[in-house]
Amino acid sequence: MVLCVAMVLSVGACRDGDDQSVETPPEASDAPTESGPLAGREDLAAYGIAYRVPEGWESISPPPSGMSLGWEDDEVAHVLTRADGTHVAAVSVTTVDAETSDGRAVSTAELAVNLRLLLGLAATDARDDAQEQYSVPGTEEATRVDLVFDSQDATLLLVDTGTGTAAVLSVLIDRSARPTLDEVPEGITDAVLASVSVE
């Protein structure tokens, strides 16, 4: 992020005998630096959205079982994997149709309801789910879905990209792997979602 600072200096006219010194304006403060678990990370792009993933979460294609939503479309995934091969967490992006067969547009809120039903029925260990409107730069419509299972937390962000499809970004954390705070920092899900924008 580049912060542009404009400085305007106004100097009044001086009469003879007046103090001719010119007050030096205060120096502009340094541009604020990024903070948080995604500070300094590069923007990635897939299916019409830009987003960031934590350091050490590597691209894997196709995503491993348990770290994927199981979409038929190609899913772009970045997975945190331990040295012993244990998959701890993942960020993935795919798409879902945002129009019905007769061309009617479907809102991300409607899509979220359907996804909650489908994923809840498909998983026997689903314990809780919720959804809410979410703000994403570049679009007026996005919906967040939080799903809690016995061994996994899943957060989905459905984003209207204006193309007849919605991008679906998911953050999956395998609680059965007992991730440490070094592996999965507190607030990492919110940080990933906050990094999303429509290209």
Other C-beta atoms lying within 10 Å of the C-beta of residue 89: 25
Within a domain: 11: no
Asked if 45 contacts 199 with a C-beta cutoff of 8 angstroms, the reply is yes
> Structural domain of residue 193, as residue ranges?
44-198
Within a domain: 148: yes
Considering its fold, how many domains does the chain have in total?
Answer: 1
Instruction: Kindly give the residue spans of alpha helices, DSSP state H, lying in 40-199.
Output: 108-122, 188-194
Question: pTM above the 0.85 mark?
Answer: no
Within a domain: 16: no
Within a domain: 122: yes
Within a domain: 23: no
Within a domain: 186: yes
Tens place of pLDDT for every residue, the chain, 199 residues?
332 322 222 223 333 444 444 444 444 344 344 667 788 889 999 999 999 999 999 998 888 877 877 665 678 899 999 999 999 999 999 998 888 878 888 899 999 998 888 776 655 555 667 889 999 999 999 999 998 888 888 999 999 998 888 999 999 999 999 999 999 999 999 999 999 999 8
CATH code of the domain containing 82: 3.40.1000.10
Beta strand 165-174 pairing with 152-160: antiparallel
Distance CA 100, CA 20 (A): 74
